[in-house]
A = this chain, B = another copy of it.
Amino acid sequence: MIIVLKPAISGEEKQKILDKISALGLKTIVSQGVERSIIGVIGEEDVLRVQPFEAYPGVEQVIPILSPYKLVSQEFKKEPSVIVVRGVPIGGKDVAVMAGPCAIENYELLRDIAREIKRCGAQILRGGAFKPRTSPYSFQGLGEEGLKMLQQVGEEFNLVTVTEVMDPRNVGLVCRYADILQIGARNMQNFDLLREVGKAKKPVLLKRGLSATIKEFLMSAEYILSEGNLDVILCERGIRTFETFTRNTLDINAVPAVKQLSHLPIVVDPSHATGKWGLVIPAAKAAVAAGCDGLIIEVHTHPEEATSDGDQTLNIATFERLMREVRPVAAAVGRAM
């Protein structure tokens, strides 16, 4: 940690800060610049992080040096993690494909969609039973009934299943039915929920919050790992910016950035990241070209009848085209799909 002092700081104030650091058991190096003094602090940065040095009137700026995350970092584990869910690897050479409706609406429909995505080559079935909706008056999902349908259909077509859990009280329930627990973007910093899925015995798909930095995203993953669950799959799903033509802005830079910082696999959700079905295929190609480990796509047999997110949902023909067109891109970057 670097502490930059104001030019006008008194000797007494400076000493107070040095004493404080030394009382924490850390060493300092003071470098007297042309205009300002700078204190370099050596030792465990975590001890310092809780100390609000900026509260001292003589301090101009405090600059942390070390990353605040540990277990998720490249330095903790060099080789990329591969998370294998019922035989489907996420994070290795293969690009995993998760597809399905935004919300589970009824059994027949889910079965129809599952059959089609399986035929097109997806390995994982997505579908929401608990839906986070901006309005309390919108359809909120079928709850446990939906989970049962998901499990049954997943088994019938031998598809791994992933579904969102929003409430820490429902983690056990969702674990009984689904293979992968999804944490939605709005809950990326719902820390009680993160801790709860950290204690669960199922892999977690953690979506990036719509205004979370890459570092905050990794810190949320750290919550889960720190509870003992190492099977976290990150998901870039678009961030909120000033642009209004698209629903979100796909932060494609985040894919290689996460690969540099962490060993965890990262998948991309081009449906939410664009918000427009007509942009999903090029966004999916870009994601795979940038090195992501999987895609999660909203697919429905009749998007124009879907209870939510129909505007960004692919119909079967378009999903089939996506698979056909993305595969050569995966091959071009040395991946299989």
Please list the residues of chain A having a beta carbon within 8 angstroms of any beta carbon in chain B: 2, 4, 7, 20, 29, 31-36, 38, 40, 42-44, 46, 49-56, 61-63, 65-66, 68-69, 75, 132-139, 166-169, 186-187, 189-192, 195, 210-211, 213-216, 219, 222-223, 226-227, 239-246, 249-257, 259-260, 273-274, 276-279, 282-283, 285-291, 303-304, 306-311, 313, 325, 328-329, 331-333
- The answer on a CB contact under 8 Å between B304 and A55 is yes
Q: Are A246 and B240 in contact (CB under 8 A)?
A: no
CB distance from A138 to the nearest CB of B (A): 7
Contacts of A257 in B (CB 8 A): 245-246, 279
Q: Which of chain B's residues have a CB closer than 8 A to the CB of A309?
A: 52
Cβ-neighbour of A192 out of B35, B52, B139, B167 (below 8 A): B167
Q: Which residues of B contact A134 (CB under 8 A)?
A: 68, 189, 216, 219
Copies in the complex: 4
Interface of A is mostly: mixed
Which residues of B have CB within 8 Å of A49?
A: 135, 138
Q: A31-B42, A166-B190, A253-B273 are in contact. List 16 more A-B contacts (CB 8 A).
A: A2-B65, A29-B31, A36-B66, A50-B139, A52-B311, A52-B313, A69-B135, A169-B192, A213-B243, A213-B244, A249-B253, A253-B283, A255-B282, A286-B289, A328-B331, A331-B332
Name the 6 nearest CB pairs between A and B, nearest first. A52-B310, A211-B211, A289-B289, A54-B311, A328-B332, A256-B282
Given the known A-B contacts A282-B291, A283-B252, A304-B53, are A242 and B213 also in contact in the complex, defined by CB atoms under 8 Å?
A: yes
* CB-based contact A42/B32 at 8 Å: yes
**A39 to nearest B CB, angstroms?**
10
Q: Which residues of B contact A252 (CB under 8 A)?
A: 250, 252, 283, 286
A249 vs B259: C-alpha distance when bound (angstroms): 16
Complexed CA–CA distance, A96 and B137 (Å): 32
Known contacts A136-B222, A136-B226, A328-B332, A308 near B50 by CB under 8 Å: yes
Q: Tell me the complex Cα distance, A219–B192, Å.
A: 23
Supposing A139-B50, A219-B135, A289-B285 touch, asked if A65 and B38 sit within 8 A by C-beta, the answer is yes
Q: Are B55 and A313 in contact (CB under 8 A)?
A: yes
| 24 CB-based A-B contacts, threshold 8 Å | A33-B65, A40-B40, A50-B307, A54-B276, A55-B303, A55-B311, A68-B137, A134-B189, A136-B191, A136-B226, A213-B243, A243-B251, A243-B253, A244-B244, A249-B249, A249-B253, A256-B278, A256-B282, A285-B290, A286-B287, A286-B289, A289-B329, A325-B333, A328-B331
Residues of B within 8 A of A283 (CB): 252-253, 256, 290
CB distance A241 to B241 under 8 Å?
Answer: yes
Q: Give A242 to B208 CA distance when docked, in angstroms.
A: 14
Task: Give, as a whole number of angstroms, the nearest-CB distance from A193 to chain B.
Answer: 8
CB neighbours (8 Å) of A135 from chain B are: 49, 68-69, 219, 222
Taking the closest CB of chain B, its distance from the CB of A29, in whole angstroms, is 5
Residues of B contacting A278 in the complex (Cβ-Cβ under 8 angstroms) = 256, 260
- Beta-carbon contact of B260 and A253 below 8 Å: no
Q: Chain B residues near A186 (CB, 8 Å)?
A: 189-191
- CB proximity of A317 to chain B, nearest CB, Å: 11
